[in-house]
Amino acid sequence: MMFDSFEAYDVQETRRVSREEGRIEGERAGRIEGEQLYLIKQVIKRIIKNISVSQIATDLLEPLDTIQPIYDLAMKQAPDYDAEKILKLLHTGKI
């Protein structure tokens, strides 16, 4: 009676599917991080050109509340801007 509801289970197939799902999720996370890094670099380029934060948001077609934290962190680093460091700070929430 204990095994009446038992289903056959292919361990190897389950592992393969899990690895594939993990790979896809990793690629997605990498793509998102790459897009964020690109945005940060675009903000830095415009800061160097002395463009205001509101104009940067308009130029990049992004909401001001997305650009403002990047802008603030970059301004704290001026003139030695580090896009990777800004990205890390945004992810840790230490603004």
Q: What is the pLDDT of residue 1?
A: 60
Q: Which amino acid is at 77?
A: Q
pLDDT at 93 over 80: no
pLDDT tens, 44-86?
A: 999 999 999 999 999 999 999 999 999 999 999 988 999 999 9
> Confidence class of residue 2 from pLDDT cuts 50, 70 and 90?
low
pLDDT at 95 over 60: no
Provide mean pLDDT across the span 7-29. 82
Q: What is the pLDDT of residue 10?
A: 76
Q: What is the pLDDT of residue 82?
A: 94
pLDDT tens, 28-43?
A: 888 889 999 999 999 9
